[in-house]
Structure 1
């Protein structure tokens, strides 16, 4: 396919995404299945065009004066790809599957691409209804944070201490231009290429051997700061596919007891193979028999640490899932807040006297973060916040600089502040 034909295809896929309010991955998959002529490079290029257009959906629509899929793609070519109007016009010839020629108004808008009068939420590319919450979280840095969340994400891996070291993996993966992470001692980063994609790490021998897992550095960091130690009884209460379970196992050096469970048993399915590959020998997966079954009933009140990677809107991962931010609705936020209260109440029953709950989200919205912790503390007077200075005082490294990103009860990471996804962590302790 020619570059112009790929642009036409991206417009077509975007039309499907917007009209049917469906995930971008589903629309891209269906498009590829129905057009067998498109090779893997074509499909990858089209996907990058689609995701880049979704990243800047609001600002492109404002600058182009049009919310159509065509306008979003044209605006993205100017704002993200940095193409001049003349270059875009050459791609829009209307011939050989290229988009139709530019109108005079489109050409003028591409030349000026004026956002001077845009509302803040448009400049930040954040949904309008979420802007009050988003701006409350970041105050004067809200527009900059929104723009950072509209950027492309790097690919991070976590070195599995049970099988390798960061120095060894930096050597093993030198052909892929790795960089050591800035914060987590186990992080290695790969920057996206011109096509917006990182290297194919899952084909590397080290991945098959369990030497590393793909995991954002922010996710690694909040797991590390949760306070898991060798010999403890630790529970990963919302384990899902087990990214943080694997990180906890490595931090515990296979000493102690580690339990992983999730209310949705289907999400746990990949964890068994991942644990076997990682060499984690102290982890036990507890699969609930049904929605109301408590798979951890026999260890109530025994956990030194309960890690709650809570269900949330995922607003901190918009770099990786730009379509998700335009699909989330107020009702979904209210539902997630309800889920968070329920899982925290469950965690309270599992923690021993003196035990800790580490509450984590991949959200930047205060209602899901400090708000959830405040609600929990109000309903559970036997728990108190763990001071952030104590959370940061780990033997894994000097994390005192992170105190400048403190919230009322915890810590808010973000792409603009740290180059990570937007993770939140707060720890509370049950009284003796």
Structure 2
């Protein structure tokens, strides 16, 4: 008989402690603990809600705790417990009885009295604390580093920067893309009750239908990911390189656009990510993809001999500033120097892959970043280094404007001579 898994709140505390030690991204920790303890779907969802609710609001929670707690030198575990408890009461609006009692039960010895007192006070003063939050400066109210808000304000505007911060504070919507490569693709009747988007291939759902996912009839994917694919516009019979492909969502959409005719080489630097991509391709009935592990920060065009490509997609590693609603801890991991380091990686990949493009071919450089330094500036610098390349078009999605994840894509063509 298997052991009963720990309660979601206990696992949430452990995830937060592991995250503070810098082990990995919060989402990876959540998935690791959920798998290790074989959590039911409902419990895994609660675990994610708790962890994300805390990480989205660290600055706000700490500002509230300054008002609620006279002890300013909290032990690490107690500090996270208080954040977890206050988040349940004031942000996630969970039933106070469960939020207080179950959180207090996780405290050790004398700390229980402190945790209980602070959470009871937070429950009593809920209205006042919420009103207090509305008057806080943006970096505290929206829990974003002030340097990042300032950066966005300079690149866009102060108003748009605040809209982005506000957007990042809400749970991300879930979207599915209908897989037309499936032998029995979902028809209009099957999707009639789903919320439509501006792209007819994508639908918003509260919970993805598990039987559709398991059968490969759909794939969880944000509509913003279509921007790069549709700008590349591959045709049946093309030879296509997706240079940073894992987990394979864009490559699978490219295969669908090509009607599984032609050839896609989908590479990634990490073998474990390649394995996951292969599993996705199998489930999604992608039959034209090859999946070698290639690190384009080290490899050169010689890796494929003399092979050249009609179209190339480089969905480059980036700061993820366009997907902070999903990757809630990115804001706390980013540092100002990171952008310069990232642009060097992006430029290295572009320079390594560009020689593989046929004369007259098309290359799309894309990111899920909102940052001009990673997007427009990287493209302009690339064009300066490669005189035979021309910028044809750029497209982007901005979360506060388009209500989807942020994305950037630039279509670059190579002269025919």
Per-residue deviation, 1:376 = 1.2
Q: Which residue does the alignment assign to 2:19?
A: 17
State the aligned residue count.
388
Which of 239, 246, 253 in structure 2 is aligned with 1:247? 253
- CA, structure 1 residues 289+227, in 2 after alignment: closer, same or farther (shift >3 Å)? closer
Q: Which residue does the alignment assign to 2:45?
A: 44
Per-residue deviation, 1:125 = 3.1
* Structure-1 separation of matches of 2:327 and 2:136: 24
Which of 204, 220, 232 in structure 2 is aligned with 1:214? 220
Stretches of structure 1 that go unaligned for 5 or more consecutive residues are 192-197, 388-409
Per-residue deviation, 1:93 = 5.4
Is 2:291 the partner of 1:285?
Answer: yes
| 1:248-272 deviation per Cα after TM superposition (whole angstroms, max 9, x unaligned) | 1110112333222223344222333
Larger deviation, residues 324-333 vs 338-347: 324-333
Is 2:304 the partner of 1:297?
Answer: yes
- CA, structure 1 residues 337+221, in 2 after alignment: closer, same or farther (shift >3 Å)? same
* 8 Å Cα contact 2:227-2:395 kept in structure 1: no
TM-score (norm 1): 0.77
Within a 5 Å distance, the mapping from 1:22-421 to structure 2 comes to: 22-25=24-27, 27-28=29-30, 41-65=42-66, 68-77=79-88, 79-82=90-93, 88=96, 91-92=99-100, 97=105, 99-102=115-118, 106=122, 108=125, 111-113=128-130, 114-139=132-157, 140-163=159-182, 168=187, 171-172=189-190, 178-180=194-196, 182-191=197-206, 198-199=207-208, 201=209, 203-204=210-211, 206-288=212-294, 291-292=298-299, 294=301, 296-299=303-306, 302-387=308-393, 410-421=394-405
* 8 Å Cα contact 2:322-2:368 kept in structure 1: yes
- CA, structure 1 residues 353+51, in 2 after alignment: closer, same or farther (shift >3 Å)? same
TM-score (norm 2): 0.79
| 1:312-353 deviation per Cα after TM superposition (whole angstroms, max 9, x unaligned) | 122222222212331233454333211100111123212222
- CA, structure 1 residues 235+142, in 2 after alignment: closer, same or farther (shift >3 Å)? same
* Structure-1 separation of matches of 2:195 and 2:385: 44
Larger deviation, residues 130-139 vs 289-298: 289-298
Give RMSD over aligned pairs.
3.4
* Structure-1 separation of matches of 2:229 and 2:330: 24
Larger deviation, residues 230-239 vs 322-331: 322-331
Stretches of structure 2 that go unaligned for 5 or more consecutive residues are 1-6, 68-73, 107-114
| 1:67-101 deviation per Cα after TM superposition (whole angstroms, max 9, x unaligned) | 94345335534553357xxx748843589727512
* 8 Å Cα contact 1:178-1:190 kept in structure 2: yes
Per-residue deviation, 1:179 = 1.9
Per-residue deviation, 1:246 = 0.8
